[in-house]
Structure 1
Amino acid sequence: MDDDGSRLTRWENRSEGPLFLLSLIFLSAYAAHVLDPGLPQAGHDALLSVIGATWACFAVDYVVRLRLSGGRFGPHYVAHHLLETVVLVLPLLRPLRAVHIYQVVQRRHEQPRLSLYGRVIAYAGMAALLLGFSGALAVYQQERYAPGATIRTFGDSVWWACETLTTVGYGDVTPVTAAGRWIAAFLMLMGLALLGAVTGSFSSWLYQAFAREGELPPGR
C-alpha cells in the first residue's frame, strides 16, 4: 500500500490539469458576470452557479490534500500550504498554480526545469498580469455604481490596477468604497512583493554573471 506522500503526489499530478481548466472557467464566468451587467437575470444566475460549482471543486481539492498530507487544519498547515489556502479564499488567483503544473509536467517527462531566475521572472510576470486583471474586475464591481466614484468604466479600473501594482499611484482614479480600498491595499502589498522578487532575482543573476566573467570575486 502506498504511503500518504505518494498518494498525495499522485493526486496532485492527476488533479492539477483539470483544476487549472476549472480556474479558467471560474475566471471567465466571473469576468462575464461583472463586465456584462445587461445580461438577462437567468444568464447571471447561470454564471453564479458556475462560479459556485467551480469553487466547490477547489474546496474539495483542498480537503483531499489536507487528508492525504496526514495533517490537521490549523496555522501550521496554512503556513506550509500558503498558496493552496490563498487560492481557495481568493479563487481568482487559482491560475497562479500554472507554475506548479509546469513543474509537474517537467518532472513527468524528466526534462530540466527553468533556472531559479527564469522561474522567478515567469512567476512574477504571470502573477502581475493575473493580479492586475482580477483586481481590476473586483474593484470595478465594487466601484462602478458607488456615489462619488472615479472608477466608472473597466478601462478606468485597469488603469488604476496598473498604477497600484507598479506602486506609481497617480491618484487620478481611486476607490471610494471600503471593499475597494481593501482590494487596493492587497494589490499594493502584492506589487511591492513582486517588484522585490524580480529586482532581487535580477540583481543576483547579474552578480553571478559578472563573477563568472572575473569582474567580481566569486563567493562574495
Structure 2
Amino acid sequence: MDDDSPAARWEQRTEIPLFVGSLIFLAAYATLVLAVGLPSFWRDLCLVTMLALWVLFAADYVVRWRLGGQRFLRFVSTHFLHTVVVLLPLLRPLRIVPLYDVIQRRQGDPRLSLYARVIAYASLSTLLLGFSGSLAVYQQERGVPGANMQTFGDAVWWAAATLSTVGYGDIVPVTPLGRMIATGMMACGLGLLGAVTGSFSSWLMQTFSREGDKGPPEK
C-alpha cells in the first residue's frame, strides 16, 4: 500500500486513537465483570461506553473498506484481523503491530531488531489475550453449577496454562461458550509460542553463524 494513499493516511491518523479506545473498551468490560454489586449508573455508563466504542470500531472498518476500493468479500478475506476485532472488540488491543508501524513511520528507523520486535509483539499479545480471555471465560463460568472456576484468579491461572500449552486440567471451562473461548485461546497460544521460539532460535542460529564466519584467531 502506498504511504500517500487515502487508506494509509486514514490509518496513520486513527490507529493510535482507536488503540486507546480499545484499552478503554477493555477497562469498561473488566469493570462490568469484576466489580460485583456495581451501582446501576456506573454499570449503564460502562455499557454505553462499550457500545459507543464498538460503533466507532465498526465505522472505522467501513471507512477502511471504502478507501481500499475492494469488493466487500475481498476486503474481508484480505483484512482478517480487522474483521475479527469488529466482531470481537475485546481483541482490538491485539493490533499492536499496525500501531507500532504507524509510530515508527513518524520516528524513522526501527530501534529494535526484527527478532526483538517479534518477541515483544508476541509477549504483549499474550498478556492482552490472556487478560481478555480470563475475563470472558470468568464471566461465562461464574456461578454455573459444576464449574470449578470460582474466582478471577482461577481464570487467570487457567489462561496462563492454556496459552502456554501446558494444560494442567485442574481448572477447565464447562459451559459451551467458555469452551469455544478456550479453543480459540489454545490456537492463539500455539501461534504465539511458535513465533517466540522460532524467532529466538533464528536469532541464536544467526549469532552462532556470525561467530563461525569469523574463523579461528590468527597466530
TM superposition score normalised by structure 2: 0.92
* 1:214 corresponding residue in structure 2: 212
* 1:106 corresponding residue in structure 2: 104
CA distance in structure 2 between the aligned counterparts of 1:215 and 1:202, rounded to whole angstroms: 20
* 1:22 corresponding residue in structure 2: 21
Moved more, 126-135 or 108-117: 108-117
* 1:173 corresponding residue in structure 2: 171
* 1:39 corresponding residue in structure 2: 38
* 2:11 corresponding residue in structure 1: 12
* 2:182 corresponding residue in structure 1: 184
**1:99-128 Cα shifts (integer Å, max 9, x gaps):** 322221211232335322122101100110
Asked if 1 retains the 8 angstrom alpha-carbon contact of 2:3 and 2:9, the reply is: no
**1:60-96 Cα shifts (integer Å, max 9, x gaps):** 000000000001211x322321221121122112112
CA distance in structure 1 between the aligned counterparts of 2:98 and 2:60, rounded to whole angstroms: 15
CA distance in structure 2 between the aligned counterparts of 1:70 and 1:147, rounded to whole angstroms: 50
Counterpart of 2:149 in structure 1: which amino acid? I
Counterpart of 1:138 in structure 2: which amino acid? A
CA distance in structure 1 between the aligned counterparts of 2:110 and 2:184, rounded to whole angstroms: 34
Aligned with 2:91 (options 85, 90, 93):
93
Cα 1:201/1:216, change in 2 over 3 Å: farther
- Report percent identity of matched pairs: 63
Q: Which sections of structure 2, spanning at least 5 residues, go unmatched?
A: none
* 1:124 corresponding residue in structure 2: 122
CA distance in structure 1 between the aligned counterparts of 2:24 and 2:98, rounded to whole angstroms: 19
Asked if 1 retains the 8 angstrom alpha-carbon contact of 2:163 and 2:189, the reply is: yes
CA distance in structure 1 between the aligned counterparts of 2:186 and 2:3, rounded to whole angstroms: 39
Counterpart of 1:111 in structure 2: which amino acid? D
Offset of 1:130 from its aligned partner?
A: 0.5
CA distance in structure 2 between the aligned counterparts of 1:48 and 1:97, rounded to whole angstroms: 23
Asked if 1 retains the 8 angstrom alpha-carbon contact of 2:94 and 2:129, the reply is: no
CA distance in structure 1 between the aligned counterparts of 2:118 and 2:110, rounded to whole angstroms: 16
Aligned with 2:148 (options 138, 150, 165):
150
Asked if 1 retains the 8 angstrom alpha-carbon contact of 2:163 and 2:190, the reply is: yes
Offset of 1:200 from its aligned partner?
A: 1.1
Asked if 2 retains the 8 angstrom alpha-carbon contact of 1:103 and 1:113, the reply is: no
Offset of 1:4 from its aligned partner?
A: 10
* 1:63 corresponding residue in structure 2: 62
- Find the residue that maps to 1:114 and give its secondary structure: coil
Q: Which sections of structure 1, spanning at least 5 residues, go unmatched?
A: none
RMSD of aligned alpha carbons: 1.9
- Find the residue that maps to 2:24 and give its secondary structure: helix
CA distance in structure 2 between the aligned counterparts of 1:9 and 1:216, rounded to whole angstroms: 43
